[in-house]
Amino acid sequence: MPRALALLWDLVRGELPPAVRKETALQFDAVLGLQLAQWKPQQEAVPDEIMILVRQRQKARADRRWKEADALREQVVAAGFEIEDTPRGSRVRKQG
């Protein structure tokens, strides 16, 4: 079993096209019984007050007010959330 899971992990991180990786992983799952097809990422509710801080931070960054943006990030982190900046905007999730 450990070797099968290691192979599955190598497959997922590999360079095959995503559709091929997914279909192969589902074939592995037919044998391993991990129920990967039923897995859904856990949705975390981010409180409104945190989202307000995140939007204020995005505005500060757009206006190139870096110190203000950093201070807002620190408030979000102090509240137990982390911000990940992506090309499509900021993603917020609970720390840990």
pLDDT at 84 over 80: yes
Average per-residue pLDDT in the chain? 92
The pLDDT value recorded for residue 87 is 86
CA distance 43 to 16: 28
- Decide if pLDDT at 89 tops 90: no
Domain ranges of the chain: 2-38, 48-94
How large is the average pLDDT for residues 46-55?
A: 94
pLDDT in tens, 33-42: 989 888 887 7
With CA atoms as reference, report the closest residue to 82 among 27, 74, 1: 74
* Averaged pLDDT, 42-59: 90
